[in-house]
Amino acid sequence: MLLNPFEIDAFNVVSLTDSINILPNTYGRVRELNLMPGKGVRTRAVVVEEKHGVLNLLPTQPPGSPGTTGNRAKRKVRSLTVPHIPHDDVILPAEYEGIRAFGSETDMAALAQVMNDHLETMRAKHAITLEHLRMGALKGVILDADASTIYNLYTEFEITQKVVDFLLGTAATNIQTKCFEVARHIEDNLKGEVMSGVRALISQEFFDKLIAHAKVRDVFANHSAALDRLGGDPRKNFIFGGIIFEEYRGVATDPDGTSRRFIASGEGHAYPEGTMNTFKTIFAPADFVETANTLGIELYAKQELRKFGRGIDLHTQSNPLPLCYRPGVLVKIHSSN
């Protein structure tokens, strides 16, 4: 009897999906920072409710007096569609020809490795795509692979983006004051949220200008010397003016073969750390019959036998929507000179 090894349970949609989700994901600084943890939803459209709560100081009253009445918060509801990102590949018979006896399962481990190799490559592509989307949410403008806009969070939430010019080309610039301006803006726009600090992911050009500035140079020299003794990278976690500055070098190739940097030259993006519910990645379910109305997960994988058994088609997909629920806390930093 002719046995198709890809018809057994080890290669069904559940097993393949489990496999691709446990494969190591070595790329993505935003993921490493756990800035936008995932949350599964059951539909492809999500509703974001904005409440402009009013906080008032409560006046003292004589005993027995009626209490003051709270103002009802104003609400705005927006519906957002979760992007659908499918990716396909194929396993040809030549890739596993000769590694098993005809009609037997004695070398299933080798067959599984062929499948695993393809899944690992596909996962890496989804991982870099998710990092790109998350960085877009951190910047306030979520871009597609071709640099077209999926969502402009500033437009959606009807707010103006905060931009701080550090003027790093001017020796007299008070960089600490610039840092305070960034931190104060973020604090003012937390809207009841909490934070543990402020981090700025910056381009290498901004980082080089920052550490070369007359008012920063000595501080960075001490920081670098301390890390040299510990074996650390001085480009990571450099604290100045209450902000953690970190060089970010995320880059990927778009469908046309153009290399795209996730942070533009000479720019950076500051945001609050340690928040409770400001950043999230929404995962919608796959468009499979078996996943309808289930909670979405990060990645799905499925395989299907080609016509006449001339190979195996592999399909993976992710349906992610990274969001910053308070775009007012996002600050773009740059230097105009």
pLDDT of 214 reads 94
DSSP string for residues in 51-73: EE----PPPP--TTPPPPPPPPP
CA distance 253 to 310: 31
In a domain, residue 216? The reply is yes
Place of tokens 């969502």: 151
**Under a CB-based contact definition with an 8 Å cutoff, are residues 188 and 233 in contact?**
no
State the residue range of the domain holding 207: 5-49+78-334
pLDDT digit string (tens) for 201-253? Answer: 999 999 999 999 999 999 999 888 877 666 678 888 899 999 999 999 999 88
Q: Which residues pair with 143 in a beta bridge?
A: 149
In a domain, residue 251? The reply is yes
CA distance 37 to 278: 10
* Structure token pair of residue 42: 């059951």
CA distance 333 to 185: 12
Q: How confident is the model at residue 54 (pLDDT cuts 50, 70, 90)?
A: very low
In a domain, residue 66? The reply is no
Q: Which residues pair with 249 in a beta bridge?
A: none
Kindly state the DSSP code that residue 144 receives in the 8-state scheme.
Answer: -
What are the C-alpha distances in Å from 245 to residues 28, 135, 222, 255, 333? 17, 16, 15, 31, 11
CATH number of the domain bearing residue 287: 3.90.1690.10
Amino acid at 282: I
pLDDT for 55 beyond 60:
no
Neighbours of 153 (CB within 10 A): 23
pLDDT of 1 reads 37
In a domain, residue 56? The reply is no
Neighbours of 279 (CB within 10 A): 24
pLDDT digit string (tens) for 114-127? Answer: 888 888 889 999 99
pLDDT for 295 beyond 80:
yes
pLDDT for 156 beyond 70:
yes
Q: Is 91 left (phi over 0), alpha (psi -120 to 50) or beta?
A: beta
In a domain, residue 73? The reply is no
In a domain, residue 271? The reply is yes
* pTM score of the predicted model: 0.85
pLDDT for 56 beyond 50:
no
pLDDT for 102 beyond 60:
no
pLDDT of 99 reads 62
In a domain, residue 60? The reply is no
pLDDT for 145 beyond 80:
yes
Range 37-66 average pLDDT: 69
Q: How confident is the model at residue 95 (pLDDT cuts 50, 70, 90)?
A: confident
pLDDT digit string (tens) for 2-15? Answer: 445 556 665 677 77
CA distance 43 to 197: 34
Place of tokens 């140079």: 217
pLDDT of 306 reads 87
* Structure token pair of residue 64: 């027995």
Question: Whole-number mean pLDDT of the chain?
Answer: 85
pLDDT of 2 reads 41
Neighbours of 278 (CB within 10 A): 24
Domain count, the chain: 1
In a domain, residue 107? The reply is yes
Neighbours of 294 (CB within 10 A): 12
> How many residues would you count in the chain?
337
Task: Phi first, then psi: give them for residue 321, nearest 5 degrees.
Answer: -140, 95
Give the list of residues 6+ apart from residue 164 with CB closer than 8 angstroms, or none. Answer: 178, 181, 182, 185, 331, 332, 333, 334
* Structure token pair of residue 90: 């194929």
Q: Which of 305, 254, 314 is nearest to 120 (CA)?
A: 314
pLDDT of 303 reads 86
pLDDT of 116 reads 83
* Structure token pair of residue 72: 């009802």
